[in-house]
Chain A
Amino acid sequence: MRNMWIIAQREYKHYFVSPIAYVIMFTILVIVGIIFALNIWQASQPIVMYSPYVPDVSIITGPMLFMFIFSIPALTMRLLADEHRTGTLELLLTAPLRDWELVAGKWLGSFLFVLTLIVLSLLYPLILHLLIEPGLDLGVLLTNYLGMILISAALLAIGVGISAMFSNQIAAFFTTLVVLVVLWFLIGAPADILPRLGDFFRYIDLRDRFYNSMAMGVLNLSDIVYPLTLLVLGLFLGTLTIEVRRWQ
């Protein structure tokens, strides 16, 4: 555990010396801010035909998750691939820490960075809370943010696992991107085509889970279990890859 924390700390600090991480953080906060402002502006227009539009938290968490799909690959790509490319993996693999501690530490570092970003984004719900009557439903706010945290944690773990398989960051980036796009946008599609497996595909459809339950303030046990399963799977994949690489 302590080793995991030591690895995580180094990675967390590293994000703040790398321009990519700053660009990602800045871009996400600005774009979410713009979308947020547009929604507020729209809600403030005089009602003509529709029932009054009251923005909720998902105008913030939805776009953020969408942008996570494209930025998480950039945050995780170098974590293990670069250690492999530069040979520094030899230092870590001959230091007294377990392979899983290394992989989990890398994940934790990236997760703490995304968590920082998520905490900063709380500014928007706070503004929203002050703007609308009677204020935000705190339960819905909580499940939205919990969903966003769980999903990003799982996606980061997948990115770390994939980074372990490459010694080239760019290859790790694109592979992770493809996997995340499939997991977020495409995996639910067969649900309507294959009636017999529909329930299964609905179960593993992260986006469906987010929008149709957590974003609405509902929290099923499986909404927590499924992202955690992905998280463990990603870290397991990374650890296994490191172990296999030792054996060549």
Chain B
Amino acid sequence: MIRVNGLTKDYGARRAIENLTFEARQGEILGFLGPNGAGKTTTMRILSGYMPPTAGSAQVAGYDIISESLEVRRRVGYLPETVPLYNDMTVFDYLKFMADLRHLPRAEDRVDTVLDMVGLIERADGYIGNLSKGMRQRVGLAQALLHRPEVLILDEPTIGLDPAQVVEVRNLIRELGKERTVLLSTHILSEAQQICDRVVIINKGRIVAEDSPENLQARLSGAQRVSLRVRGESDELVEKIAAIPGVQEVIALPEGVLEFQHAPGQDVRPEVARTIVRANYDLLEMQPVGMSLEEIFLELTGKKRK
């Protein structure tokens, strides 16, 4: 369980996060979504006991992060964003060292178990310095899992992994999230939608939205943009498509590409397709355009895109 109340952190004069309040219940995977510099890492560092906040309070696994920091650290598994590791140690020795610091009984067996979980058992005796970025990421994850923590704090756990591993790690997180509390940060909206029970969106140190992925999707669907491509130039189609009820902001782009936005809850795509065919154009493709994080924030904060 994670309970955050009015958390604020200043780095000198710069305020990194301001008055964050949110909760993650046991057995819940909470996604922390935000662009670069939003304050995700800062928040996670505070919750993992690395540094104290400037103001506000938080409880992790039932203990106060400031006055009971050691108790919190005993119960949290933390994957730092930069995945710091000792390059001159072997994978096994490193994990054994971290297991010893946590006073785990039968540490060797436990190290083998977590290495198996992250699929690194055959690299156990290799030096960490020789591992690829994705493998380092998995060593970091193994370290976070060593002590079967009640709470997992994972700072961008799938970054740097190849697609197959991304799927594997996401499945692993989902599995772990069944009984534990997981807080994970990501830049990727679809990742948050896939694995999280709830998503907190932050931007510039403040919470912009907090909801289930389904509800967020519903709120965002109002801004659905569609891109299509026809053979030839698309300029002449602009007027015809703009005339369809519900279609807004039609823009013609080079090479027959055309983008438009449609009103909330109204799927105008069939009508658009018919219009194009009637005008004797070949419709080559049509697809929804994913929104960038920036656009999502603008949308959620109610500001209109230019």
Interface residues, chain A, with chain B CB atoms under 8 Å away:
2-3, 6-7, 10, 14, 17, 86-98, 246-248
Cross-chain contact A248 with B51 (CB below 8 angstroms): yes
Q: What is the CA–CA distance of A96 and B87 in the complex, to the nearest angstrom?
A: 22
Most chain B beta-carbon contacts within 10 A, residue among A10, A89, A98: A10
Interface SS majority for chain B: loop
A247, closest chain B residue (CB): B52
CB distance from A241 to the nearest CB of B (A): 14
Cross-chain contact A91 with B84 (CB below 8 angstroms): yes
A6, closest chain B residue (CB): B100
Number of interface residues of B (CB under 8 A): 27
Residue in contact with B73 in the complex, picked from A10, A88, A94, A248, CB distance below 8 Å: A94
Cβ contacts A to B, 9 pairs, < 8 Å: A2-B103, A6-B97, A86-B87, A92-B101, A94-B48, A94-B73, A94-B78, A95-B101, A96-B74
A96-B70, A248-B11 known; A90 vs B101 contact (CB < 8 Å): no
Q: What is the CA–CA distance of A221 and B118 in the complex, to the nearest angstrom?
A: 57
Contacts of B82 in A (CB 8 A): 87, 90
Q: What is the CA–CA distance of A98 and B84 in the complex, to the nearest angstrom?
A: 20
Cross-chain contact B51 with A96 (CB below 8 angstroms): no
Contacts of A248 in B (CB 8 A): 11-12, 51
A87-B82, A248-B11 known; A98 vs B76 contact (CB < 8 Å): no
Q: What is the CA–CA distance of A10 and B100 in the complex, to the nearest angstrom?
A: 11
Residue in contact with B97 in the complex, picked from A10, A89, A94, CB distance below 8 Å: A10
Q: What is the CA–CA distance of A97 and B97 in the complex, to the nearest angstrom?
A: 13
Cross-chain contact B100 with A94 (CB below 8 angstroms): no
Residue in contact with B50 in the complex, picked from A14, A88, A97, A246, CB distance below 8 Å: A246
Cross-chain contact A90 with B80 (CB below 8 angstroms): yes
Cross-chain contact A17 with B49 (CB below 8 angstroms): no
B71, closest chain A residue (CB): A96
Residues 161-194 of B contacting A (Cβ, < 8 Å): none
Q: What is the CA–CA distance of A132 and B202 in the complex, to the nearest angstrom?
A: 79
B82, closest chain A residue (CB): A87
Q: What is the CA–CA distance of A93 and B48 in the complex, to the nearest angstrom?
A: 9
Q: What is the CA–CA distance of A112 and B93 in the complex, to the nearest angstrom?
A: 21
Contacts of A98 in B (CB 8 A): 70
B45, closest chain A residue (CB): A90
Q: What is the CA–CA distance of A212 and B32 in the complex, to the nearest angstrom?
A: 65
Q: What is the CA–CA distance of A17 and B88 in the complex, to the nearest angstrom?
A: 9
Cross-chain contact B70 with A87 (CB below 8 angstroms): no
Q: What is the CA–CA distance of A97 and B52 in the complex, to the nearest angstrom?
A: 16
Contacts of A6 in B (CB 8 A): 97, 100-101
Cross-chain contact A95 with B98 (CB below 8 angstroms): yes
Residues 57-94 of B contacting A (Cβ, < 8 Å): 70, 73-74, 76, 78, 80, 82, 84-88
Contacts of B88 in A (CB 8 A): 14, 17
Residue in contact with A247 in the complex, picked from B51, B70, B101, CB distance below 8 Å: B51
Q: What is the CA–CA distance of A87 and B82 in the complex, to the nearest angstrom?
A: 8
CB distance from A84 to the nearest CB of B (A): 10
Cross-chain contact B50 with A96 (CB below 8 angstroms): no
B231 contacts chain A at the CB level, 8 A cutoff: no
B140, closest chain A residue (CB): A91
The 5 closest A-B pairs by CB, nearest first: A87-B84, A96-B73, A96-B74, A88-B84, A94-B48
CB distance from B124 to the nearest CB of A (A): 18
Most chain B beta-carbon contacts within 10 A, residue among A17, A89, A95: A95
Q: What is the CA–CA distance of A88 and B87 in the complex, to the nearest angstrom?
A: 10
Cross-chain contact A90 with B97 (CB below 8 angstroms): no
CB distance from B208 to the nearest CB of A (A): 26
Cross-chain contact B49 with A94 (CB below 8 angstroms): yes
